[in-house]
Amino acid sequence: MKYFKYLSVLIILALLIPLSVPQPVQANTAILTVTGEGWNGGYTSYYGGSADYTNMQAVDGNYVYAVPTDYVLQARERAWTFSPVGTSIINSVTIYYYASRSGLADLAAAPFVRIGGVNYYGSSSSLLIGYVYYNYTWATNPSTGVAWTYNEINSAYFGLNMQCKITTGNESVHCDYIYLSVNYSLVLPTVSTSDASTPTYSGSSHNCTLNGSIDEDYGSSCTERGFAWSLTSNTTSPSHATPPATYTSNWTETGTLGEGAFSHNIGGLTAGTTYYYRAYAKNVAGYSWGDEKSFTTLTNPSMTTQAATLVSSTSARLNAVVVSDGHQPCDVRFGYGEVSQSANCTAGLTCGGDVYTTYTAWVNDTYTTGQYPYVDITGLDIGTAYYFCVQVKNDVSCKCGGELNFTTTTGVGLVTGFNGIAKPTSISLAWTKATGATDTLIRRKTGGYPTSITDGTLVYQGTGTSYEDTGLTSGTTYYYSAWGYSGAYYSASSTTLMVTTLASSAEEEGVTSVTTPDTWFQAPDYTNMSNWPFYEIANFAFDSFSLPRSTGWYIMALIFATACGIIFYSAFENSNLFLSCGVVAVVMIFESMLKLVPLWNILPFAIVAITGIFVGERRG
């Protein structure tokens, strides 16, 4: 397995190599004959020890080569030029000779080619009585072992070696003429189909520019180039003979066309439609085609306005989503104002005039299908309702995304720590004022929570943090909603609480009911310390340690009460531990009045103190 990746690379290279090889088409044949003196309808023979050289062409001054028992007659010819049109692949070279014999049966002839001073012989053929065509084919250049080239054919000497034994003197060999047949294939041009330019829409016409190139013409200039296109994909490579009928339309340019890029703009296309196309070119070998590519014409864009986010008292983020870009990067902007324009900004409606009081700048040629444009707007009025809509535009049209709305906040936070303790005919309520609020508004209902600052029964409105809601019905569930407010602005939403009163009251059984102090279960409200020294310093310290301010002031209050008791106990000789605990209780009552601790916190301190005194007395 460790060699698998190398084998994979070799396989991929093997598949890619044919892509760079020129594409040959049907084979062609060139007949090369001697144009000057030589074996072209002449007569050459050896007879009875003498040779007739009348029609032979001596290349190096030698006609006859003698061997001990044979006379060998050789002639070499090179009076031709092979020059096909354009680049060709030479498949083979065949020598043909028209020869005969008389006399002995073993008279023979062997063709040869002389390259670089070296003779390379083909198979010898025994000659028959009477003239017969003989031939021999060299598929490759025998001196190199690879395909022939033009220059190698034109510079070689092809000839015939004829043997005649010396016997009675009546034997003879004859050759009337010799010629070459070169089999070669012309090469198609190499053509590439390039990506189409971005489709356009002008006036009422959809257009697109197709692009392609003739990468290599192999020495044979093209006579045609162009494009074929259709609504149907044709993945099979077309024929080299004619433009394919499977494409319904085509454009052709004629002339003497060299290598390089070319293009053509087509119009009158259908909106939102996919077209398939190929580039092609033609030379003497035939048509060659690039790969198939496609493009889609433009159509109307589509967007949907989405809910605003990050809404504050003076700012907000407007959002949208691109449902379809219409096959072109779109322009996007938002419009907003305090007056609804729903009649002019229905989803999908064509954009009209500037109906909103404010528009953001167009962001051009940017957004595509599936993207989420947004814009942050500022300078809004506090606690005000705003209406907004998105617009999207490409070259075809401008569309609206539908109107939505949001309301800026008032700068007042939510009431926190809202809780209550049920009694038969009353409920003790306690809470922490909302951040930024000076007052708290509480309303109640039965059967459901109050939904607005005017819904239900008003329970409390003021600066406090606790209240006893009296005059209630026993065994009944009450729903409370609390808002913080400052000046004319309320918190954006309410904090809710559900409490059920007890089934019976102590008064009904003849037992006097004790009213729980307002401060008994109150939540800490550190803002009452705002006029005390070191208020901001303490808050800064709590914020630095990520400690909630209410918790920080609560802890400080407990520490201060404990410290007062310790100081009293230590400052006076023979101090009584019980009196020190009393000091702690007094301090905590004072802190409860400042709304730093609930009054019930005195109980655990008292229990601990009494336990300590008891243990101390026992040990004493």
CA distance 414 to 300: 45
> Count of CB atoms within 10 A of residue 452's CB?
11
CA distance 51 to 175: 12
Indicate the fold that domain 23-187 takes in CATH.
Jelly Rolls (2.60.120)
Tokens read off for 28: 């062609």
Please check whether the two domains, 23-187 and 302-407, share a CATH topology: no
Is residue 603 predicted with pLDDT exceeding 90? Answer: no
| Banded pLDDT at 399 (limits 50, 70, 90) | very high
- Model pLDDT, residue 10: 37
- Model pLDDT, residue 357: 93
- Options 3.40.50.10140, 1.10.3130.10, 3.90.1300.10, 2.60.40.10; CATH of 302-407: 2.60.40.10
| Banded pLDDT at 1 (limits 50, 70, 90) | very low
* Sheet architecture: strand order including 466-469: 416-422, 427-432, 466-469
CA distance 265 to 511: 100
Query: Does the model's pTM come out above 0.85?
Result: no
Which one is predicted more confidently, 31 or 583? 583
Task: Calculate the dihedral angle through the C-alpha atoms of 598, 601, 603, 608, rounding to the nearest 10 degrees.
Answer: -170
- Model pLDDT, residue 333: 96
CA distance 200 to 266: 11
Cα distances (angstroms) measured from residue 205 to each of 229, 387, 397, 483? 18, 36, 13, 60
Average pLDDT over residues 499-522: 62
| Banded pLDDT at 153 (limits 50, 70, 90) | confident
Phi and psi at residue 253, in whole multiples of 5°?
-110, 135
Q: Which of these, 582, 577, 576, 538, lies nearest to 557 by C-alpha position?
A: 538
Is residue 332 predicted with pLDDT exceeding 90? Answer: yes
253-270 burial, b for 16+ CB within 10 Å, e for fewer?
eeeebeeeebebebeebe
Indicate the domain borders of the chain.
Answer: 23-187, 190-296, 302-407, 416-523, 527-619
* Conformational region of residue 323, where left means phi above 0, alpha means psi within -120 to 50, and beta covers everything else: alpha
- Model pLDDT, residue 31: 65
| Superfamily (CATH) of domain 416-523 | Immunoglobulins (2.60.40.10)
Q: What confidence tens digit (pLDDT) does each residue in 188-242 have?
A: 889 999 999 989 888 778 999 999 999 988 877 899 999 999 999 988 777 776 7
CA distance 496 to 477: 13
What residue ranges in 104-156 does DSSP mark as E strands? 108-115, 118-121, 125-126, 132-138
Whether 156 contacts 180, CB under 8 Å:
no
CA distance 177 to 458: 129
| Domain 190-296 = CATH 2.60.40.10 | yes
Kindly report the CA angle at 467 between 463 and 469, in degrees rounded to 5?
135
- Model pLDDT, residue 53: 41
Cα distances (angstroms) measured from residue 260 to each of 86, 109, 191, 217, 226? 17, 53, 10, 10, 13
| Banded pLDDT at 471 (limits 50, 70, 90) | very high
What is the chain's alpha carbon radius of gyration, rounded to the nearest angstrom?
Answer: 54
Q: Which of these, 406, 201, 404, 407, lies nearest to 321 by C-alpha position?
A: 404
What is the torsional sign of CA 581, 586, 587, 591?
A: positive
What is the torsional sign of CA 13, 16, 21, 26?
A: positive
Q: What confidence tens digit (pLDDT) does each residue in 15-69 have?
A: 333 333 455 555 566 666 554 333 333 334 444 444 444 434 333 333 333 333 3
For every residue of 214-245, DSSP letters joined together read EEE-TTS-EEEEEEEEESS---SPPPSSS--T
For every residue of 87-99, DSSP letters joined together read -EEEEEEEEEEEE
Tokens read off for 551: 């918790």
Is residue 515 predicted with pLDDT exceeding 60? Answer: no
Average pLDDT over residues 402-426: 90
Indicate the average pLDDT of the chain. 79
| Banded pLDDT at 594 (limits 50, 70, 90) | confident
